C-alpha cells in the first residue's frame, strides 16, 4: 500500500497547486465522462481528481483505504460546500455488488492481471484506467529477495479487445520554496547519488513562492474499457 506520510502529502499538495495536474487530468478524462453519469475515483488517495470532477458538476464517489489520505480530502472538501462528493474509506475488494457506478476511474492503482474483471463489474458504462506508459511492476522471483521487472500489460487485450486506449503527456513536477527543501526532497526519494547535478538542473521560475522547480512530464496511457455484461459475469462466476 502506498504510504501517505506527512512529507509526501505536503509535497504533493504543492505540486498540485503549482502544476494543476488535477485539472490537466480532468481535462483529459472529461471527453469520456457524460455530465449526467456517476463517477467513482477508486483508490483516490488525497482526492484531488475527485474534487476537480466534483467542481465540474459530476456526482463523485471517492474511495480509498488510507484514512490519512482521506482526512486530507475531507479537510479540502469541507472548504467547498455544495459539491456532490461522497467519501468512502474502503478497499476495492469491499465492493461486492455489480454496476455500482456508471464510471469507475483508477489512476496508477490496482493489480490488473488478476483483478481487472472485478473492477469491470463495479461500473455500468466504462472502466477508465490511467497508468504510466513506462510503468514497471516489481515481481519477486522464487519467493526470495531478488526482483525482476515486467511492463504493465495491455489492458485492452486483457479485456478481450473490448475497449480503447490513448496517450497523454501531462506536467507534474515538484516546486520548491528553497534549495534546502529541494535537497531534502531528492534525498527522501533516494536520489542522493546524483544530488548536486539534479540541484544544478532545477528551473528558476521567478515565482516568489516557489522559485525552484523540478520538471516531470508524466506520460500516461488512458484505457477506456467496457464493463462486464451479464453473460461475462456468468462466465466468470
Residue 236 lies in a domain: no
pLDDT at 140: 38
> What is the total count of domains within the chain?
2
Kindly state the cell numbers that stand for 60: 463523485
Residue 228: pLDDT band (50, 70, 90) is: confident
Residue 237 lies in a domain: no
Asked if 131 and 187 sit in the same domain, the reply is no
Average pLDDT over residues 73-89: 96
Asked if 145 and 207 sit in the same domain, the reply is no
Average pLDDT over residues 28-33: 96
Domain that holds residue 192: 175-215
**Considering the chain, what is the average pLDDT of its residues?**
87
- 233 pLDDT higher than 70: no
Asked if 193 and 152 sit in the same domain, the reply is no
Asked if 197 and 164 sit in the same domain, the reply is no
pLDDT at 98: 84
Asked if 186 and 73 sit in the same domain, the reply is no
pLDDT tens for each residue of 211-220: 999 999 999 9
Kindly state the cell numbers that stand for 44: 483516490
Residue 11 lies in a domain: yes
Residue 1 lies in a domain: no
Asked if 59 and 140 sit in the same domain, the reply is yes
Amino acid at each position: 500500500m502506498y504510504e501517505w506520510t506527512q512529507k509526501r502529502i505536503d509535497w504533493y499538495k504543492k505540486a498540485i497547486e503549482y502544476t494543476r495536474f488535477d485539472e490537466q487530468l480532468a481535462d483529459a478524462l472529461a471527453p469520456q465522462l457524460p455530465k449526467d453519469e456517476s463517477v467513482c475515483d477508486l483508490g483516490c488517495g488525497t482526492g484531488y481528481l475527485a474534487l476537480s470532477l466534483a467542481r465540474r458538476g459530476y456526482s463523485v464517489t471517492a474511495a480509498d483505504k488510507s484514512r490519512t489520505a482521506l482526512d486530507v480530502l475531507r479537510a479540502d472538501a469541507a472548504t467547498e460546500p455544495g459539491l456532490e462528493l461522497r467519501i468512502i474509506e474502503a478497499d476495492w475488494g469491499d465492493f461486492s455488488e455489480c454496476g455500482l457506478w456508471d464510471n469507475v476511474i483508477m489512476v496508477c492503482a490496482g493489480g490488473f492481471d488478476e483483478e481487472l474483471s472485478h473492477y469491470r463489474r463495479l461500473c455500468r458504462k466504462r472502466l477508465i484506467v490511467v497508468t504510466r506508459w513506462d510503468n514497471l511492476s516489481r515481481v519477486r522471483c522464487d519467493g526470495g529477495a531478488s526482483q525482476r521487472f515486467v511492463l504493465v500489460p495491455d489492458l485492452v487485450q486483457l479485456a478481450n479487445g473490448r475497449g480503447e486506449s490513448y496517450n497523454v503527456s501531462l506536467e507534474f513536477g515538484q516546486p520548491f520554496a528553497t534549495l534546502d527543501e529541494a535537497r531534502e526532497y531528492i534525498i527522501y526519494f533516494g536520489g542522493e547519488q546524483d544530488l548536486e547535478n539534479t540541484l544544478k538542473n532545477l528551473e528558476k521560475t521567478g515565482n516568489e513562492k516557489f522559485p525552484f522547480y523540478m520538471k516531470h512530464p508524466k506520460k500516461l496511457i488512458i484505457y477506456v474499457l467496457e464493463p462486464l455484461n451479464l453473460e461475462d459475469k456468468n462466465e466468470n462466476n
